[in-house]
Chain A
Amino acid sequence: MPVSGQQAARVGGGHRARLPRFVSRAAAPLILALIVSAQRATADGPVDYRRDVQPILAAHCYKCHGPDEQKSGLRLDAVSTAREGGYSGPAIVPGASKESLLVKAISGSDEDVKAMPPEGPRLSSEQIATLVRWIDAGAKAPADDRPAAGTRRKSDHWSFQPVARSPAPTVQRADRVRNPIDAFILARLERERIEPSPEADRATLVRRLFLDLVGLPPSIAQVDEFLADKRADAYEQLVERLLASPHYGERWGRHWLDLARYADSNGYTNDNPRSIWKYRDWVIDALNRDLPFDQFTIQQIAGDMLPEASLDQIVATGFHRNTMINEEGGTDPEEFRVEAVVDRVGTTGAVFLGLTLACARCHDHKFDPISQRDFYGMFALLNGADEPTVPVPTPEQSGQQAELAEGVKSAEADLRRYDQETAERRAQWEQQLVAGIAAVEWTVLDPLEATCASGAATLKNLGDRSLLAEGDRKIDEIYTVTAVAPLSRVTAVRLEVLTDDSLPRHGPGLEDNGNFVLAELTLETPAVGDAKGQTAAWQWSTATDAKGNFPVEHLIDGNSGTGWSLNVTAKRPGTDRNAILALRDGLATEGRTLVFRLKARNVRNNYLPGRFRLSLTSAEGEALRVGGPVRDAIAVPADKRTANERDLVLAEFDKVDPGRRELAGKMAAIKSDLNKLTQSIPTTLAMRERDKPRETHLLIRGEYLRDGPVVPPDVPSVLPPLSTSGEQPTRLDLARWLVAPANPLVARVTMNRFWQQYFGRGLVETSNDFGTQGTPPTHPELLDWLAGEFVARGLSMKAMHRLIVTSATYRQQSRACPELAAVDPDNRLLARQSRLRVEAEAVRDVTLATSGLLSPKVGGPSVFPPQPDGVMALTRSVREWKTSTGEDRYRRGMYTYHWRSTPHPFLKVFDAPEGSTTCTRRDRANTPLQALTLLNDEACIEAARALAVRVLAESPRADAAGRVRHAFRLCLAREPSDYERACLTELLADELADAKVARDDAMTKTIQPPMKLPESADPRQYAAWTSVARALLNLDEFMTRE
């Protein structure tokens, strides 16, 4: 039962359940009494397990806790298993009878422990005393202590029995038998004296086959081709064509994705996007190439563990990566990893075994022979994987990657060689550069005037030409410093931020922590006489110190929203710092006034520099051209530089050394190509088995924090045993076991789902539950025959589709005569076909295909067809829905990007699953919201318009009746009846009449590309036909597989 840990905790009595369970004051006196009596008995000599203990246990306990059954996971027929205990913990604590669960149970003394045995005579006080003595003496085991050879659990339930293939029964109406399926169905109908229905007409059949096998409607040409095909095997030929279509993989792939709970986001609170569409495409491709079901299964469960696994096989393991991920703040990732593994167990059970394994998470299955230990055995098999994100390059991309990597390698070698050859020259250059930097002379600016824009504070000249801020400070303060240029030319400015005793923590900032955030520093020379005003253009900046997100470059980035700040935690406050800002071209300043502005970026009031001083230089050359981190790097002795510092210096050297520049440029170009290529390669989520598997504990009552005994990996014991070639069974062993011929369930369950798709209901209606609570099969012999046939045909899925759709049973008409409806209202006996509303994606696909808009493209990243505004607004993190343009606007429904917390409303309204858990059978609701969607949704209106254009373009010379017929056949494949033709012609006439009066808006119904109204067409016709098209696209039959 899928009950979470926390819930279970409550069921068990809230937090009390986390305390040691067997501390009960009430029990103490009784236990004491027992101990006293045990001590009395000591006089009788030591207790012997075989002679004294085992007979008691065998008489009273083995029935439920012995070789045949282990209720609550407990087995008492060996001392080792008794010590190991069951789901509630060890039964025996050697030397401590008081703490031993066994003693509490048999003495019935603890209100929290159920008194044992529940039936039959209670143990006598002598017997209890014997057990107490034995435990207190250390619970010694005999030398040959081991549980009797474990017999596996047995069940008489039908689905656990081997598949029994009985021959097809003989029937009276042998003429109605196209293949053995029909014999099984007919035999039952004949028993019930019910006539099967006649075969559906050919137009119905062709549309039925198209919808079922490829999920798309036939074109008129395809209908006509089939109607004209007079060969005896025309139908079978059509089936072959459809099974060979790439759209077959899409149609049946989507059914499989329901089981795989495929989605494009992580679910839960944050619902972040994920990239796993390569897995979706793998499914489509695997079905199209008819990968046998055993391989199909093994690769999805454990493709990564196959010998020399191909990338394709690794992509297949995305099956169990479709679990959700909780990224909400404050969550414990391991807790939700465990949830994901629980989901994998449940999904594996539902999809391949038709069993509700998840019921046994917290306790033994209430109905089926699945113990809680069985659940954790399966859990252990699926618990050994890491969950990597894997790039999935095409073979071409892989080739290019290898080629580029080779190119990088050889370019690196070239560079290395060059660096060795030019080492001496470079060292010289470095020396000169360092000397040049040191030789730069700074002239300290003598401020004429220094003001604060707010007027609330003053800047006081301290005599050493530094300025100290005093008074109140305002947010977004600007300091302006004016001075006469002391130099005729300025190439760089130095800003010293200085400490002062008047500042908090000695500064240099005014904030309590001694810091500041300075947004911009600008330098202007105002116009004077003929000389124009100039503004300094900065080239680079460097600083002795900066805080992570506040680098000194922010001072000169022209953005007053960013700023430079100091790292006052790593480096002590109260030390002087400076920044150097170099000009791009230098500034002629002879006789000019200089105006500096220091703009603060105040997040809070006092993040302003407290004391500062400005200096200038006119030094030229490399020493000033070299900026930022390079200056720091080059100051470090060559042999002490980090790799990053080394690279910085070398990059600087490139600027003066054309030879190296060329080589470095070449390497950078290749690296950039490689990087771009790598970025462009899609990734997917996959499984990768760990070297050392995780240890799996049974979780007591399913609670995440309550570890029970260690459980080795295994399959439920009621099913055939699991074999392994290694030390212990692995996920790969599980995968092979699932599809081994001995497994009685997998073929039945798979065939049942096929049947469900074709007839609306499985032979077993509960397609995810073949256990004792599921419905029994309506036609057990047929189910087994199909399962056997599946195996006999090499587990070819296409072979089984072929078999089912060529049966007479499938080809019947779906009309329910009242007589039939009275005796078999739900059509369980299949005396007819069933009408089935097509699935959400197919509603979209059929609509788009009919209107001519559908893109036939198979596979690729998920797309964003139009959806109403505001759909994404209802979640925690509002996601952008950037509507796809061009072809991607009209892709099949299965390619629509699936956000788990905001599924596309069109798909949701037609019952597409949410993708949170496996879905073996979709609902087919019938709601007003569906009607509103088909009537009014943008995508549907667009399709109606396109269909109108299509009809007018394809039947330019036809009259109204001829066009109605054409449109009708586009939508429904069959000919319209007179009545239907009359209804639609009447609608058309009404709309045209209406259009005569007020049809100015005809052209406002803008035609979306790629549809083009023929030039000759009358816009009024187009408007009227849009209405007729809407009516057709909303017919019940249009969205129904008849």
Chain B
Amino acid sequence: MAEEHAALTLSRRQFFSDCGLSLGGIALAALMERDGLAAAAARAGPLAVKPPHFQPKAKAVIQLFMAGGPSQLELFDLKPKLRELSGQPIPASYTEGKRFAFIKPDAKLLGTKRQFARHGESGAELSELLPHTAAIADQIAIIRTMKTDVFNHGPAKLMLATGSPQFGRPSMGSWVLYGLGSETQDLPGFVVLKSGPRGPRSGAALWGNAFLSSVYQGVPLRNSGDPILDLATPIGVSAAEQRRTLDAIGKINRRRFEETGDDEIAARIASYEMAYRMQHSAPELIDLASETPHTLALYGAKPGEASFANNCLLARRLVERGVRFVTLFHTDWDHHGGSENLEGALEQICRETDQPAAALVMDLKRRGMLDETLVIWGGEFGRTPMGEDRGSLGRDHHIEAYTAWLAGGGVKPGQTIGQTDELGFSAADPQEQVHVHDLQATILHLLGLDHLRLTYRFQGRDFRLTDVAGEVVKRLVG
């Protein structure tokens, strides 16, 4: 690279003399410094590492997006009173002015049949469905008073992913890359992983860049075929041929750069080189066979399988390699009753997710990575204290109070934040409510970014991830 740089600078000088114009008072050295290829690429390279607003705690984020809305009442928030009143209509005082997706406001309350116990020194109260999470109870901070604004899946997912229920806003990962740049030259800085029976609703908008540059968009790593679209050299093209072709492209592009002085060409040359490196680094990344049997067993991961366990392990490998933001989507937590119920279906999805999520936290910790890696577990909303009967039991979408947990990245562990009222409907104390925007403000804060200052001017207005709201949750920040 140094050699290449020197050669370029040389031809750059040649270009100046060819230009036929006097350089006047402009210092040649300064121009060369400014206009060298590397500098040009960096200038046109919006992914360069940028300093945070203040000293960060976390360098990377792994978001475990539990798509569909997990039932906090079966998993995290035990409500004896709800059990007691199970089968009775919910008092109207709770539901006045509230909207629900499917059930009527006079639906009947449903107490959980799941057993809860306290775990760890912190005494976090967790359901029998989460035995592995119970083992990391002292590593996580549980928020039982999460709140969001919208009660349909698509808009609510966008709310959590982008801070707005509308299409057209950048996703959290994009904002973070925009704010901090990428630490890796070999992989995308924002990666999306998916498991479960179907894709998340709203699709690509959940990891979209919207009005930010598309260099900030999330790149889905795929479970089958090429891990990244068009990653593999085409069939019939040898590695040597690929390299020779790239060299020819690079040489001609470089000459054009010298002739036109257009930084975009320098950026294109850099893009092609990074693409070439990705061709090698991405297959190595997804090859889980290099992990020890012990690690594989910890996650319950099986090389070659499309699973949440594999994705959790991949997330660690991504962060290890300098990836800034990883979002894992796991579907489908939408337990309304019927085939998606609070019985077998919930047990099944807990089996799929409980162990890998806990393993991720443990694995990060034993590798000394947890301090700088923020792990977030949660869905777009929770589920109602009222039951829904679709042949078998479930619950409707609930936005007033639900549960999420965080670990690592500067989060103060071993605490449970917020209490819900005796039916688990809302935060008992409105002061303890943690809105999605508050969570987002906190995530940015842990990364050393002030959510009020991370803005982008578009359509006449400075946009933020947290829209016009959001307060850092002080208790979360250790």
Contacts and interface: CB of A to CB of B under 8 A. Distances in A.
A900 B152 CA distance: 18
B460 A911 contact: no
Nearest to A815: B260
Contact of B268 (A268, A270, A984, A1036): A1036
Interface in B257-303: 257, 259-262, 264-265, 267-269, 271-272, 274-275, 278-279
A901 B204 contact: yes
A902 B249 contact: no
Contacts of B231: 932, 936
Contact of A822 (B26, B259, B468, B469): B26
Given A819-B22, A914-B208, A994-B240, A927 B256 contact: no
A929 B229 contact: yes
B23 A926 contact: no
Interface string A531-542: 000000000000
B199 A1035 contact: no
A771 interface: yes
A1036 B205 CA distance: 29
B93 to A, nearest CB: 12
Contact of A269 (B202, B246, B260, B468): B202
A328 interface: yes
A423 to B, nearest CB: 53
Contact of B203 (A1, A901, A905, A925): A901
A14 interface: yes
Given A4-B149, A914-B167, A928-B274, A15 B16 contact: no
B325 interface: no
A987 B269 CA distance: 18
Interface in A971-998: 977, 979-980, 983-984, 986-987, 990-991, 994
Interface in A253-273: 267-271
Contacts of A1034: 245, 249, 272
Interface in A377-416: none
Nearest to A271: B203
Interface stretch (A508-516, A801-809, A873-881): A873-881
Interface size class of A (residues with CB under 8 A): 35 or more
Contacts of A339: 166
A527 interface: no
B264 A835 contact: yes
B54 interface: no
Given A927-B215, A983-B248, A328 B201 contact: yes
A583 B247 CA distance: 78
Contact of B244 (A901, A987, A1040): A987
A268 B166 CA distance: 9
A269 B158 CA distance: 10
Contacts of A271: 203
A289 B277 CA distance: 49
A326 B256 CA distance: 48
A18 B234 CA distance: 59
Contacts of B205: 901, 914, 916
Contacts of B460: 356, 359, 367-368, 766, 768-769, 771, 773-774
Contacts of A874: 194, 199-200, 203-204, 220
Interface in A642-689: none
A19 B44 CA distance: 52
B255 A980 contact: yes
Contacts of A771: 460
Interface string B88-109: 0000000001111110000000
A1005 B222 CA distance: 26
A980 B251 CA distance: 8
Given A356-B460, A359-B461, A1031-B249, A902 B215 contact: no
Q: Which of B147, B242, B253, B467 lies at the interface centre, i.e. has the most chain A CB atoms within 10 A of its CB?
A: B467
Nearest to B163: A7
A756 to B, nearest CB: 15
Contact of B461 (A773, A901, A931): A773
Contacts of B397: 330
Contact of B236 (A870, A984, A1005): A1005
B228 interface: yes
Interface in B360-387: none
A819 B24 contact: yes
A4 B166 contact: yes
A926 B230 contact: no
A1034 B247 CA distance: 11
A817 B229 contact: no
Given A901-B205, A902-B204, A1001-B236, A10 B435 contact: yes
A925 B215 contact: yes
A328 B238 CA distance: 47
A10 B164 CA distance: 12
A923 interface: yes
B333 interface: no
B198 interface: yes
A506 to B, nearest CB: 25
A269 B201 CA distance: 5
B340 to A, nearest CB: 12
B51 to A, nearest CB: 23
B173 interface: no
Interface string A556-589: 0000000000000000000000000000000000
Q: Which of A6, A877, A917, A937 lies at the interface centre, i.e. has the most chain B CB atoms within 10 A of its CB?
A: A6
Contacts of B59: none
Nearest to B19: A817
B21 interface: yes
Contacts of A711: none
Nearest to A18: B97
Interface string A425-466: 000000000000000000000000000000000000000000
B229 A326 contact: no
Contacts of B219: 929
Given A916-B205, A923-B214, A817 B165 contact: no
Given A874-B203, A990-B244, A324 B167 contact: yes
B256 A1037 contact: yes
Nearest to A5: B149
Nearest to B232: A936
Contacts of A984: 248, 252
Contacts of B213: 923, 925
A105 interface: no
A933 B154 contact: no
A18 B98 CA distance: 10
A986 B249 CA distance: 12
Contacts of A774: 460
Interface in B70-124: 97-102
- Return the 10 tightest CB-CB contacts between A and B, nearest first: A330-B101, A901-B203, A269-B154, A916-B167, A6-B149, A931-B275, A356-B460, A269-B201, A876-B201, A925-B214
22 contacts: A2-B166, A2-B168, A10-B435, A329-B102, A331-B152, A358-B459, A359-B460, A367-B460, A869-B225, A873-B199, A876-B154, A876-B199, A876-B201, A914-B168, A914-B205, A914-B210, A916-B167, A932-B275, A979-B252, A1004-B236, A1031-B252, A1036-B269
Interface of B: 16, 19, 21-24, 26, 31, 35, 44, 97-102, 147, 149-155, 164-168, 188, 194, 198-205, 208, 210-211, 213-215, 219-220, 222-226, 228-238, 240-242, 244-249, 251-253, 255-257, 259-262, 264-265, 267-269, 271-272, 274-275, 278-279, 397, 430, 433, 435, 437, 459-461, 467-469
Given A817-B19, A876-B201, A926-B271, 18 more contacts: A7-B149, A7-B165, A14-B430, A269-B152, A269-B201, A356-B461, A768-B459, A821-B261, A868-B225, A876-B153, A926-B264, A931-B275, A980-B252, A984-B248, A1028-B248, A1035-B249, A1035-B252, A1035-B253
